[in-house]
Amino acid sequence: MKISKQNYTNETFSHIYIEKDALNYPLTNEITSKLNKSKIVYIDNYNEIFSRKNQNPFLQKLSPSLILAVNKGDFIYKGSPLCHDFEQQNFYYTNFIVNCLFDCDYCYLKGMNFSSHILFFVNLSDYFHELSRLINEIKERPERGQGKIYLSISYDSDILLFEGIYPFLKEWIEFAEANPLITIEIRTKSTNYKKFLNYSPLENLIITWSISPQEAIEKYEKNTPSLERRLMAISQLLQKGWKVNLALDPILYIGENWQEKYKEFINSISKKINLKKINAITLGVFRIPVDYLKRFKKFFKSPIAFFPYQTTNGVSTYPEELKSKMIEFVYSELEKIYNKTNIYVV
């Protein structure tokens, strides 16, 4: 798999599987025209490829195919309690892109999905229609927050990797601009920030950068930009007035000197970006549903998968004493340089 500075090339995907129903959408032709060296295979239902049993997601991760499909199921989901909800009553997420070209050792997608192929749903307009319906529904029920919604659109993929072939950003920005009651969050590790410079910052659109110590990036976040490059991208958007969050999540046990490494990491953040301009910072240690962890172990042999985690209520994470120590240490270092009222912990 070849990944360029834009995170894809004309040869990234050897095969593109296209649902026959997806041929009715102009976006399908737009995507395939940019990837004209890929072999096209027509299918009746994306689950024939994406959800079939006895796949090897580890091998697929080395050379994923692309699937273009029409989402005929749910478009919007209630946010998971394992995620940061920023104390929002109406916290949701959506996934018009599933799976990622990055190869992070701790990614829950490796345990959630049977496949590592990249899945694009091309009926984006249906997502906006459903969101508009949801906004109106909540408006009519004052006990549900007067129509305000917090929506993450990138939990199941680092979607900014794909903006060059699936041009979604303009449509989401226009939707946010037309619907001030919805706050849209885009999470990323990428440095694909320049498209944002074509637009005026919005109060209700937030870009959240996941950042880690450089040692953790090198060991556990394969194919991702360095910490320095991420901080540069963050700085550029802060200068233009965009709302940016930082996600120190997951905090990882990266050895007995983890405290020293995280202290150095936090110091480097404070030197490279203006923390006073950061909208919020989120913290959380590695955590994963135990069923995902079991599947994860079967195919991916990262040391992260085989740590002696503690499992409570179906979720595996660090033992409580270590978890508390890690959160408390990082929190205490951050509050020395940042307003603690804007630090959120899960």
Residue-level pLDDT at 343: 96
CA–CA distance, 153 with 279 (Å, rounded to integer) = 18
Model pTM? 0.93
How many other CB atoms sit within 10 Å of the CB of residue 2?
A: 10
Q: Return the DSSP state at 221.
A: E
**How many Cα neighbours within 13 Å face the side chain of 88?**
23
Q: What is the pLDDT of residues 184-243, one digit of tens each?
A: 999 999 999 999 999 999 999 999 999 999 999 999 999 999 999 999 999 999 999 999
Residue-level pLDDT at 12: 81
Q: What is the pLDDT of residues 108-156, one digit of tens each?
A: 999 889 899 999 999 999 999 999 999 988 887 766 656 689 999 999 9
CA–CA distance, 252 with 285 (Å, rounded to integer) = 6
- Which among 211, 182, 181, 206 has a CA at the least distance from the CA of 196? 206
CA–CA distance, 153 with 95 (Å, rounded to integer) = 6
Residue-level pLDDT at 148: 85
- Kindly give, in sequence order, each residue whose CB lies less than 8 Å from that of residue 49, ignoring residues fewer than 6 positions away: 17, 43, 65, 67, 115, 117
Q: Which domains does the chain possess?
A: 15-345 (3.80.30.30)
Q: What is the pLDDT of residues 4-25, one digit of tens each?
A: 444 555 568 999 999 999 999 9
Contact of 211 with 247, CB cutoff 8 Å? yes
**CA distances to 64, 80, 106, 127, 300 from 293, in Å:** 21, 17, 10, 30, 10
Residue-level pLDDT at 169: 97
- Which among 210, 186, 211, 181 has a CA at the least distance from the CA of 196? 186
